[in-house]
Structure 1
Amino acid sequence: MAPIQKECDYLVIGGGSGGLASARRASGMYGAKTIAIESSRLGGTCVNVGCVPKKVTWNAANIAETIRDSKAYGFSVDQTAPFDWPTFKQKRDAYVKRLNGIYEKNLVNDKVEYIHGHATFTSPNSVSVTLDDGSKTDISAKKILVAVGGHPSKIDLPGAELGINSDGFFDLEKQPKKVAVVGAGYIAVEMAGMLHALGTETHLFIRHEKFLRTFDPMIQDKVTAEYERQGIHLHKNSSQSKIEDLGNGMKKVYYKDQNGEGTMEVDTILWAIGRAPEIEKLGLDKTGIKQNEKGHILVDEYQNTNVEHIYALGDVCDRGFELTPVAIAAGRRLSDRLFGGQKDAHLEYSNIPSVVFAHPEVGSVGMTEPEAREKFGNTVKIYNSAFTAMFYAMMDPDDKAPTHYKLICEGPNERVVGLHIMGLGSSEMLQGFGVAVKMGATKKDFDSCVAIHPTSAEELVTMK
């Protein structure tokens, strides 16, 4: 059976947040004939195995912490049973499935043709799509966007397949009793924090002394110390040599850490060692697209690849911000430029705020202190604040979590070039302060804003 032949103005490969945002704007706002292709579930990593189910799980963990903390406020909450992981998972899956349907409905509303299948380049201007039934559809396009995202990186050691990755975390049918989380980035830190808060004995294996090592040193120091205070078992300077299957769902981890060699029996091993671009079956060799040593597609600030009429955005490219809102913003601006006549439309990749849903939350926007000192030298001035949030006023000393804030300023006007916060409410707090930093606010601007009392956020406008 001969392949179906299609043509379009704009072909988007990848149905994640960035690709869909670009496709919908191109078609719905500018009338470009647009086709979007996705081989898995609509919404990409964020909706299915990332931000959305992660935040729902973090909410559950936060509630567990609140139940424990409620005793200090005079409540007597009797837990008649442990956390009901299977029921929670069922409801979380249903929520994600509903979002998949909403994404598909939005494509219909914006007149984007959606094809479920796997696309492979056959030339710089065409792809062959293998559909679910095995049939083929060939598509030629004037412009093509590659927005296929990434996948968890694999680790190469004996028995590694006995573990799961961050995608597999959301497939767990029952709560782990004892888990080994391997990794030091935000995914590892978030999942270790959630599991610990929900009652799992949690061991976090990191290669160095601290985790979140791309963040400001204050964040690295304070969150690492806080995880240790909470009782998460940190294995620093660690490596694993092999994993052994013990049967009955149990595995033995062979490792080295700061205390020497050891073994550990766990029911779950979670690899969270980074992500790689989803390019293996894309046929990029047919296009001449340039990639870096890790396989990421090279793009400029306008999302252009080296091949005319092919663009890339999101986790598959080399811009360094694997964040859903970044991909969405880049996708919309790309369509504004390609089809809306806005010749200079592009995403500014500076001062992008980000949050880690750790325990407690972390927020960061702008430069770290080392970055600022490297760029501005001795014109940098640092403001720090460390305190206990009012929420903990009713609690015993051992139950109080610290809050740490840091402002990084430069020049005679003390322009705020970095803001780093750790503590209750940081995720919601950061959005407004992110606007201020993006606008070039100075320390004087912060000081001139009347504090909202009593809040933790007021510390950011009263620092001395």
Structure 2
Amino acid sequence: MARKMLKDGEAPAVADADGGGGEGSYDYDLFVIGAGSGGVRGSRTAAGFGAKVAICELPFHPISSEWLGGHGGTCVIRGCVPKKILVYGASFRGEFDDAKQFGWEINGDINYNWKKLLENKTQEIVRLNGVYKRILGGSGVTMIEGAGSIVDAHTVEVTQPDGSKQRHTTKHILIATGSRATLVDIPGKELAITSDEALSLEELPKRAVILGGGYIAVEFASIWKGLGAEVDLFYRKELPLRGFDDEMRTVVASNLEGRGIRLHPGTNLTEVIYAKFIKFSSLSLCSGCSLS
């Protein structure tokens, strides 16, 4: 569309919603598919400027699928937030060890309850899912539960949890679906899990194999080792954390080995024969991939 200079004080001409000079005929000014960080922010901002906004999101579940998701998206429900809870939980093992060197006398066994940590983690992401719903409602955004698909440039069809479908017309559509973890395409990949499942394991693994050397892989290696698991980390480069400062990567690799994590640089997995806990982690957690 051609642009033109506007004189001071001259308001730009805005076409009506129906594309002509008559009354607008759309249900919404903006329809957002996906209530993660981007979708929530975009819908709230538009509503704040007076737009009539709707947003659709899948029913809540800690592990995502084509039909399960939740308000808050990957970062809040199965990404950074729950992962940090596990990181904090795992860090105490080192603190207990260090405390002895500073005069603390810790007598007897220090027991760890994995199920308690997972229960508290789940409670927190359920709470945050509700917070995001309240934020959207308070902003005047209409929330619709279901899977959205685009019919045409101004129509979104939402498949609801009961299988029924509803169509909504809108002047603009914002796609904010993010992505889901995928498994590396090797034989036996169906025996592995992604980062979604890694954050919701019913039992703490006694041994874990992680494929990938990114920061999420390194974090999961540290989490599981910190909680008592035996961990092997496989990655294709000579050092973990590709793209980070080389000196820092060297220090991180040394620290990982110092914690007892077995590193396998310059290697890859070609087949999974048996896996209870193997984690593929070749992407970031918020769109991450893992084999556990």
Report the TM-score when normalising by structure 1: 0.53
More strand, by proportion: 1
Correspondence list, 1:196-235, <5 A? 196-235=225-264
1:271 aligns with 2:280: yes
Q: 1:10 aligns with which of 30, 40, 59?
A: 30
Go from structure 1 to structure 2 and tell me whether the alpha carbon gap of 1:235 and 1:79 turns closer, same or farther (over 3 Å shift): farther
Tell me which residue corresponds to 2:50.
31
Q: Distance in 2 between matches of 1:37 and 1:8?
A: 13
Aligned-pair CA distance for 1:107: 1.0
1:73 aligns with 2:102: yes
Correspondence list, 1:179-258, <5 A? 179-245=208-274, 251=275
Contact 2:70 2:77 in 1 (8 A): yes
Q: CA deviation digits over 1:109-158, x for unaligned, max 9?
A: 11100111111111122211101111111122112211111111221111
Aligned-pair CA distance for 1:26: 1.4
Report the TM-score when normalising by structure 2: 0.82
Q: Distance in 1 between matches of 2:202 and 2:281?
A: 19
Say which SS state the counterpart of residue 273 (structure 2) adopts. Answer: strand
Q: Distance in 2 between matches of 1:232 and 1:82?
A: 21
Go from structure 1 to structure 2 and tell me whether the alpha carbon gap of 1:76 and 1:140 turns closer, same or farther (over 3 Å shift): same
Say which SS state the counterpart of residue 240 (structure 1) adopts. Answer: coil
Cα RMSD, aligned residues only? 2.0
Aligned-pair CA distance for 1:195: 1.0
Q: CA deviation digits over 1:297-353, x for unaligned, max 9?
A: xxxxxxxxxxxxxxxxx97xxxxxx9xxxxxxxxxxxxxxxxxxxxxxxxxxxxxxx
Tell me which residue corresponds to 2:77.
48
Aligned-pair CA distance for 1:230: 2.0
Structure 1 alignment gaps of length 5 or more: 246-250, 252-266, 277-313, 316-321, 323-464
Contact 1:10 1:142 in 2 (8 A): yes
Q: Distance in 2 between matches of 1:6 and 1:129?
A: 16
Q: Distance in 2 between matches of 1:273 and 1:145?
A: 28
Q: CA deviation digits over 1:379-429, x for unaligned, max 9?
A: xxxxxxxxxxxxxxxxxxxxxxxxxxxxxxxxxxxxxxxxxxxxxxxxxxx
Greater RCO (Cα-Cα under 8 Å, separation 6 or more): 2
Aligned-pair CA distance for 1:15: 0.7
Q: Distance in 1 between matches of 2:230 and 2:88?
A: 19
Aligned-pair CA distance for 1:223: 0.9
Structure 2 alignment gaps of length 5 or more: 1-24, 59-68
Give the total of aligned pairs: 254
Runs of 4+ in 1 over 6 A off after TM superposition: none
Q: CA deviation digits over 1:54-83, x for unaligned, max 9?
A: 111111112222111111111122453532
